[in-house]
Amino acid sequence: MNMALKIWLNDRLVDEADAKVSVFDHGLLYGDGVFEGIRVYDKRVFEMEAHVRRLFDSARAIRLQVPMSKEDLTRAIETTVEANRIHDGYIRLVVTRGIGCLGLNPFTCKTAGLIIIADKIQLYPEELYEKGMKVISATTVRNHPLALPPQIKSLNYLNNILAKMEALDVDVPEAIMYNHEGYVAEATGDNVFIVRNSIIYAPPVEAGSLEGITRAVVIRLARQEGLEVVEKNLTRYDLYVCDELFLTGTAAEVIGIVEIDGRVIGDGKPGTITRLLRDRFYSYARRKEK
């Protein structure tokens, strides 16, 4: 029998059954808030400092006051992980605008809400990492970066969800999203990389991709291996003709793509550089100190 979770709600741990949010919370009413998804490896919170910093940056960008300091939030995350005896798992860290009046005005919300969930994580099956994954191109266009900066990890994920539906409708797990200019932005929940002539290319953040924590780690690991990494705009054609295509993300880690829109990538198996970076990331994540 699964142990009931302990959820951090605002300023303390509560039983899962008591972890409730008001129907007047603007996070629920308007998707007004920010979040982070964080991995736990061997009881260690992965890239804690980077995740907490990004949360505070997202909050500042939408004029949301996080209700505790970075140091106190870090301790609250660690406390929640320990209370739930998480060895390998996932943390969902959420800051909502808080309880306010009906209507868009965020200034009726006096105090932000804070939620920390630490639980097990549903991963892609191991077979997908060995054989590679199929994806499609979404027709849903990525939010314009001038409408909503892609660096803000906000609670409103409808743009990504609509693209995710397109993938699930044709029985593939992911879709590649393009921006208003037709350049590659990101997948619905992961960052995109390609390899061409042994050079790794990634869309720049300005193209509409989240500044992924895993993305940054993978770029760093690739450069440590002496691989060249170039951030530049990529087109759908670039994905069709590349030698390797892979995604990075908190849950996905590093996963190879072997087909997009019916076009086989490379030899139809995860490529050499993809496998190297997956191996390097796996080792890095599991021996990384806090």
Give the count of alpha carbons within 13 A of 196, CB side only. Answer: 14
Q: What angle do CA 177, 179, 181 make, to 5 degrees?
A: 140
Q: Crossing angle of helices 213-224/272-287, nearest 10°?
A: 110
**Cβ neighbours of 103 (radius 10 Å):** 10
Cα separations (Å) of 209 from 11, 204, 261, 285? 32, 7, 21, 23
- d(Cα 194, Cα 134) in Å, to the nearest integer? 14
- d(Cα 3, Cα 263) in Å, to the nearest integer? 45
Q: Any idea which residues carry the catalytic annotation?
A: 153
Nearest to 189 by CA among 209, 206, 203: 209
Residue with tokens 């191996």: 279
